[in-house]
Structure 1
Amino acid sequence: MYPIFETFRVSFFNVNLLRGINEFVGFQNYINIFQDPKMITSIKFTVIFVVGSMIGHIVLGVGLAVLLNVKMAGQKVLRTIVLLPWAMPMVVIAIASKWAFNNDYGIVNDFIRWFNPGFNLDWLVHTETAWLAVIAVDLWKDVPFFAILVLAGLQFIPTDMYEAAKIDGAGPIQTFFKITLPLISKNILILSIFFTMWRLTSFDIVYAMTSGGPGEDTALIAYRITTEAFTNLNTGYAASIAIVLFIVMAILSGLSMYGAKKVNY
């Protein structure tokens, strides 16, 4: 508990190791968070990153889980192959992705040029495309793991229910929305809680892939905390950002757990 209490205490001080400053400022660090243009940019991208990533995780993860649940030859091998991206360290993936999205020699533009020879785009140079690239890499890395966990929930659905639905004339789409999705909804919700927490504290993908660029446009909140603490040595301000992030995560977690209790399936 000591590091948590110490972070909370330091957040009320203006601590700058470069200038040798250590003075009590009360809530000024917290006020500065919402007056700092760089921090506002970080908050904006963090919201876009978390929302975009989680929508992708739920849609693609559930779809992939249903696909992996279909009985076919080589099913176990396929599940193992799908998990390979998740097994790789994010730093390695982010560095490789930095090369992959390069306009001159990147594999992404190389593939697009098969269909559009004149295509040119520096993905990580422009704000919107850098956002898309970071979210896409995050999805490629973690959607397989999300899907495998959803797949575990699918395994507990009795086959008798599907057989009864088939006898009643229900098609695949009706079966999915009336049986499969309701029965795994609590599983999806609980997984979404933890994956959202992980997204909020993401650091390595931005550190290795964009270094917060272009400018400060892809600097996630966790990356901003690290920059303020270990680059600018402004530890008081960094501590206040960390406390705000902790409070946000606690509130979201509490609301999500409350919602999970309300799901009756």
Structure 2
Amino acid sequence: MYASKRYLLIAWIFVLPALLIRFFTTVYPVIETFRVSFYNVNLLRGINEFIGFQNYFSIFQDEKMITSIYFTAIFVVGSMIGHIVFGIGLALILNMKMAGQKVLRTIVLLPWAMPMVVIAIASKWAFNNEYGLVNDFIRWFNPNFSLDWLIHTDTARAAVIAVDLWKDVPFFAILVLAGLQFIPRDMYEAAKIDGAGVLQSFFRITLPLISRNILLLSIFFTMWRITSFDIVYAMTSGGPGEDTALVAYRITTEAFTNLNTGYAASIAIVLFIVMAILSGLSMYGAKKVNY
């Protein structure tokens, strides 16, 4: 009995440093962020005063913040629709038996392996009207085409979503492909004998059997989209105006540019709560999928 307690004590001694590191790098920052969110902390003005829930009320009275919330919703919904549609389509192509299949899968995954900041900076050049790759390609078909993508609200938002899709759809497709590998070929052969076509096999066999896989992937990819920061930071800097500023980018600018840390902390807490709710609802929905 004494020996077992001794071994347990030794185990806790070895584990304690890791727990302390985890506490001070994860738990403590969350607690401190929650505390600061109730204060008016502005390092430029030297202000540090308790104001209760005023920072939280200000979120929904700030026009720039409302614009950021609006674009974040557009970005998340648009990006996830694209991930699901193009990701499934690409996965089906990669699942076909063809020459050089392994090489093709490796090449397709290259965009995901590149840092987002590098891709965003390159995309900023690519969407330039004078020397950008995108406009040069369009001018092959329409020599008079001219468009400054990143200085117009609608096109800048579309460009951000397009770059995000180009970066992460291959990874989404590879993960969907992993689910496709577990579907027995015998099921397709039996469906073909029964007279089922390609579309019928897809909607009656493929899609139901990978639906749980797609739902779980969508949960995690949605969380990543909500907290996206680097693509906007490197590609548009929130412009034109504030029209492509995501919520995570707004937190950064408030905290490190405006040095309004109390307000930034309140936005971060609201974002944390929204993510926790969405994650809980998504996981609950995933349990309801029978496949």
Equivalent position to 2:198, from 172, 179, 182: 172
Deviation at 1:99, TM superposition (A): 0.2
Question: What is the alpha-carbon distance in structure 1 between the residues aligned to residue 133 and residue 155 of structure 2?
Answer: 16
> Structure 2 matches for 1:15-164, cutoff 5 A?
15-164=41-190
Identity between Structure 1 and Structure 2 (%)? 88
The residue that corresponds to 1:241 in the other structure is 267
- Which residue type is aligned with residue 119 of structure 1? F
Q: Which runs of 4+ in 1 moved over 2 A?
A: none
Deviation at 1:31, TM superposition (A): 0.2
Q: What is the CA deviation profile of residues 19-49 of structure 1, one whole-angstrom value per residue up to 9, with x for unaligned ones?
A: 1111011000000000000000000100000
- Which residue type is aligned with residue 38 of structure 1? K
Q: Secondary structure in 2 aligned to 1:14?
A: strand
* Bigger radius of gyration: 2
Deviation at 1:128, TM superposition (A): 0.1
Question: What is the alpha-carbon distance in structure 2 between the residues aligned to residue 114 and residue 82 of structure 1?
Answer: 25
Question: What is the alpha-carbon distance in structure 2 between the residues aligned to residue 63 and residue 5 of structure 1?
Answer: 43
C-alpha RMSD of the superposition? 0.4
TM-score (norm 1): 1.00
Q: What is the CA deviation profile of residues 56-113 of structure 1, one whole-angstrom value per residue up to 9, with x for unaligned ones?
A: 0000000000110001110000000000000000000000000000000001000001
TM-score (norm 2): 0.91
Question: What is the alpha-carbon distance in structure 1 between the residues aligned to residue 158 and residue 89 of structure 2?
Answer: 21
Indicate yes or no: 2:289 matched with 1:257: no
Indicate yes or no: 2:253 matched with 1:227: yes
Q: What is the CA deviation profile of residues 100-154 of structure 1, one whole-angstrom value per residue up to 9, with x for unaligned ones?
A: 0000000100000111111000000000000000000000000000000000000
Question: What is the alpha-carbon distance in structure 1 between the residues aligned to residue 280 and residue 92 of structure 2?
Answer: 29
Structure 2: which 5+ residue stretches go unaligned? Answer: 1-26
Deviation at 1:222, TM superposition (A): 0.3
Query: Aligned pair count?
Result: 265
Deviation at 1:160, TM superposition (A): 1.1
The residue that corresponds to 1:194 in the other structure is 220
Question: What is the alpha-carbon distance in structure 2 between the residues aligned to residue 171 and residue 72 of structure 1?
Answer: 21
The residue that corresponds to 1:4 in the other structure is 30
